[in-house]
Amino acid sequence: MNSLLLTGGRVIDPANRLDTRADVLISQGKIVAVGADAAAKAPADVERMDVSSQVVCPGLIDMHVHLREPGQVAKETIATGTAAAARGGFTSVVCMPNTSPAIDNAGTVALIDERAAEQGIVNVYVTGAITKNLAGEEMAPIGSLKKAGVVAITDDGHCVQNNELMRRALEYAKMFDLPVLDHCQDETLGTDGVMHEGYWSIALGLRGWPAAGEEMIVARNILLAEATGARVHCQHVSAAGSVRLLREAKKRGLPVSGEACPHHFTLTDAAVAGSEKFIEVDGKGVFGLDASHGVLPSWPAYDTNFKVNPPFGSAHDREAILEGLVDGTLEVLCSDHAPHCDYEKEVEFDYAPFGITGLETELALSLMQLYHSKRLGLSELIAKFTVAPARLLHLSKGTLSVGAEADVTVFDRDRKWVFEKSGSASKASNSPFYGWPLRGKAVATIVGGRKVWTEQGELAKV
Ligand SMILES: [Zn+2]
């Protein structure tokens, strides 16, 4: 394998508390040197990439992705999902077990590993189910899932409603040193809701889903984490009350954590009423960042690409998530990339499946809402995409330490661009962010020392 020298970039490696202008030398798939001596150590035939106006950081990790394979390959495949990840700047993804069949046995884990080795262009880590077929009735074989290599267990898409079963699962998971990730949703409170319960659900005549439906399970998880000592990680936190509960629990030293998705800290329930209403009511902080874009996105009311689980909350919820990210209550950023077919989404709002794609827009939206808005430094933001998920899931990733596998993301924090379907590698087109003026973009994604995606031509300009 050839050597690659990334020259002159701003190298940010939160795991090593590094933020400096430096060269990075990659050879034989590993990080060989970072700093002034990197160029001197490079062989004569080294390939050079000038990244002097870019940020160079450990390869980004998205720990919440639905790749839809096996069984739902009309929506996405490991090939297209990992291609979308690479375009978004992600070198590793963690896939959820709500496939068909579900990832509740060692055989399915092996199948995904095999496909990922053949067709994936970024690293694919697998999660196993907590319960068989994610039905919430009987525990999945957690020991054999661990042996097969899962990095965590979750029933994502569903939530274990039986508290006794959840307690036993936590005890098992602790024995096997597996983190438990939970999609927090009390089904008795959110049964038939299609959007956040509040002013807009009433105005639009849609069935509401109260924030307490999430908060209830976050509280349950905190109590069970305290009782069992097992780690519980709350997925895609969307409600202010959930953030508050997690903050208090962490203050008491309990083994709980949380993640947030860009759509939950960018959009609000007003977005379901269409772009005009959203921009008028809750969009100012988002679009007002830079008027020079000149274009504002437009979408109609009841657009099913704004139907997501959990639903977009109120502006108060959005602010609470941003605060939770800033004060460290929520330590992980991820997409909940959930591709669907066009025909599935082209139905009435009530009948459309929940979920939107996110791998290609999450870095830009995170930069806009956290960094460009001056809420969070670049290093703190990158940590939530690298060292934080790596530590949580015990992955040997998320750092540019010498000797580490050379997973590297190069991105332009200021690049202005507009997300279009034609520029997407995903098989699906259920994104609410088409036509959005975005700021910040990955320009090169390097996995194990190999450039799996670069923005050719544009890179040459820098
Ligand atoms: Zn979920």
**What is the model's pLDDT at position 36?**
86
CA of 332 to the centre of ligand 1 (A): 15
**For range 161-171, the mean pLDDT:** 97
CA of 143 to the centre of ligand 1 (A): 23
CA of 356 to the centre of ligand 1 (A): 11
Beta strands in 59-167 (DSSP E): 60-65, 90-95, 123-128, 152-154
What are the Cα distances from residue 374, in Å, to 158, 289, 322?
Answer: 35, 11, 11
**What is the model's pLDDT at position 286?**
83
Are the CB atoms for 260 and 192 separated by under 8 Å? Answer: no
**What is the model's pLDDT at position 459?**
40
Q: Which of 13, 269, 282, 336 is catalytic?
A: 336
**What is the model's pLDDT at position 5?**
97
pLDDT surpassing 80 at residue 169: yes
182 is catalytic: no
pLDDT surpassing 80 at residue 458: no
Note the pLDDT tens digit of each residue in 404-436.
999 999 999 999 999 999 989 999 999 999 999
CA of 448 to the centre of ligand 1 (A): 29
Task: Write out the DSSP string of 55-84.
Answer: EEEEPEEEEEE---TTT-TTT--HHHHHHH
CA of 183 to the centre of ligand 1 (A): 5
Q: DSSP letter for 373, please.
A: T
Give me the percent of the chain exceeding a pLDDT of 90: 93
Q: How far apart are CA 451 and CA 262, in angstroms?
A: 26
**What is the model's pLDDT at position 460?**
33
CA of 338 to the centre of ligand 1 (A): 9
Q: What is the dihedral of CA 320, 326, 329, 332, to 10 degrees?
A: 110
Q: How far apart are CA 433 and CA 286, in angstroms?
A: 12
Q: DSSP letter for 50, please.
A: E
- What's the pLDDT band for 356 if we cut at 50, 70, 90? very high
- The dihedral through the CA atoms of 143, 149, 153, 154 has a sign that is negative
- What's the pLDDT band for 218 if we cut at 50, 70, 90? very high
- CA-atom Rg of the chain in angstroms: 21
Specify the residue for token string 């998530």.
321
What SS3 state is found at 406?
Answer: coil
**For range 316-329, the mean pLDDT:** 98
CA of 354 to the centre of ligand 1 (A): 10
- What's the pLDDT band for 284 if we cut at 50, 70, 90? confident
CA of 236 to the centre of ligand 1 (A): 7
CA of 21 to the centre of ligand 1 (A): 38
| pTM for the whole structure | 0.96
The mean predicted confidence, pLDDT, of the chain is 95
Q: How far apart are CA 233 and CA 67, in angstroms?
A: 21
Q: Mean pLDDT lowest for which of 176-185, 197-206, 290-299, 364-373?
A: 290-299
CA of 101 to the centre of ligand 1 (A): 17
**What is the model's pLDDT at position 295?**
72
**What is the model's pLDDT at position 66?**
98
Query: Which residues are registered as beta bridge partners of 234?
Result: 182, 258
CA of 355 to the centre of ligand 1 (A): 9
Note the pLDDT tens digit of each residue in 64-93.
999 999 999 999 999 999 999 999 999 999
**What is the model's pLDDT at position 138?**
97
> Residue 196: which residues within 8 A CB-CB, separation 6 or more?
208, 209, 211, 269, 311, 312, 313, 314, 317
User: What phi and psi values does residue 163 have, to the nearest 5 degrees?
Assistant: -65, -35
CA of 171 to the centre of ligand 1 (A): 22
CA of 181 to the centre of ligand 1 (A): 10
CA of 364 to the centre of ligand 1 (A): 22
CA of 132 to the centre of ligand 1 (A): 17
Q: How far apart are CA 282 and CA 318, in angstroms?
A: 10
CA of 235 to the centre of ligand 1 (A): 7
